[in-house]
Amino acid sequence: MNGQQRKDIKPGLEVDIVLKKDQRTGNLTRGIVKDLLTKSHSHPHGIKVRLEDGQVGRVKQIHG
């Protein structure tokens, strides 16, 4: 799953996100979802989430 649908992402899932500072390089950061920040049902660049360690980015890959 690619992280563009809000219904696919729940707190506690392990995901790969792209942080704002990594958007140019596409470097991925892995972590556990704490909060969903995107309110719409979908987003073409990925749903924005906050990880348990406080980092914020858009979901690119779901592992849970």
Average pLDDT, integer, range 34-52: 97
pTM of the model: 0.94
CA distance 15 to 51: 9
The alpha carbon dihedral of 28, 64, 58, 4 has a sign of: positive
**More confident call, 64 vs 60:** 60
Q: How confident is the model at residue 1 (pLDDT cuts 50, 70, 90)?
A: confident
The chain-wide mean pLDDT, for the chain, equals 96
